[in-house]
Amino acid sequence: MARMIINQDKCIHCATCEVECPFKAVLISDKGIFSIDDELCRRCGICASVCPMDAITKEE
């Protein structure tokens, strides 16, 4: 199953992905680390398309 992955080395913590995700699948930890909840994610790719750093990819 495909899943969306955030490359932590590229992520600048701008939160654009979190704001734009219609499924609220982007999570932010107490330490400010962004991740994607596989159960909420619909793999639509909106998060990847709005990321200014191309830090989000779909992995098969």
Domains of the chain and CATH, by start: 3-59 (3.30.70.20)
Q: Judge contact between 48 and 59, C-beta under 8 A.
A: no
- Cβ partners under 8 Å of residue 21, min gap 6: 46, 47
pLDDT at 23: 98
Global pTM value: 0.91
| CB-count burial class (<10 Å; 0-12, 13-18, 19+) for 55 | buried
pLDDT at 13: 97
Average pLDDT along the chain, 60 residues, taken 10 residues at a time: 96 98 98 97 98 97
SS3 (DSSP) at 3: strand
pLDDT at 6: 98
pLDDT at 1: 83
pLDDT at 3: 96
pLDDT at 36: 98
